Structure 1
Amino acid sequence: MDMLDFLDLSHNQLSGKIPTSLAEIHTLGFLDLSNNNLSGKIPTGTQLQSFNASAYADNDGLCGDPLPKCPGDSLRPSTNNPRENMNENDDNNLSLMQEVAISIGFGFIFGFWGVVGSFLLKKSWRTAFFNLLDAAGDWVYVRIAVFVSKCKRG
């Protein structure tokens, strides 16, 4: 059964849980277990969760992805309404973006005003900083002037 690609077991009055050995068929491209009496949780972490919910339709005791969550799965969102789940994810992304914006705002406030505030309060720091900028500007000017004069000779 390792090479099985198509499996239709619909309308067969099957009951019980889905065998985990079914999840070991990695070549399975189509699965239909609808209209049976299957129950329990669809094996997690398998390709069985990648099939549409219609593959498991009319199995009242069946739960887990891609069907509604099982009673013990309070941490996982329900997948019976993908549009509703997208809205929940959008809300999460929006709050993440708000958190990033707030973090950037606080970073700017503390970073910018930490530097500017120290220059406003300490004249010696302000003088030393602008002397450093002056010296750096002079150094760049001299380097450019030497480079240009070498190019003219060359």
Structure 2
Amino acid sequence: GIILSNNSFDSVIPASIANLKGLQVLNLQNNSLQGHIPSCLGNLPNLESLDLSNNKFSGQIPQQLVELTFLEFFNVSDNHLTGLIPPGKQFATFDNTSFDSNSGLCGRPLSKGCESDVAPANEDHTKGSEESLFSGTSDWKIILIGYAGGLVAGLVVGFNFSTGIIGWILEKLGTQQKATRRRRRRRN
């Protein structure tokens, strides 16, 4: 990862950072970085942690960041960001504190709604319904239910298999011991 926090950098994030496809952690907090958050950060498929807090970024949070499916930690607090927080996917899981002290931000997870929060006019309504059904915490619930069911089934099958094997081994050992005793009796 790249951790360049607390360095008083006062420039912009270079677009060339998008060439670091394997980057997992980008921490640029507590600098004086300015300009817009580059949309090219959405081209970092392995990014798990992005901390841009306490800088001087302005403008909107790029919609492209929603495509960062591995992103577990996101913090843009204490900047000058405005507009709607990109809806969907993992952005629904980030805490309010990830967006604190950006008076121009609105939308979920913040309690402040956007003035232009109007439902889009039936653009792919069925697709949106499916997305909201299988986005955010719903995905994790489905995954956990499947995992738990598989775990229980695996344990039951494994237990039955192992006790069956043990019983079979004991049975074979028991019959072997009986045969050995019979042979000894015949010799005597």
TM class, shorter-length = 0.3 to 0.5
TM-score normalised by the chain length of structure 2: 0.38
Instruction: Give the structure with the larger helix fraction.
Output: 1
**Higher Rg:** 1
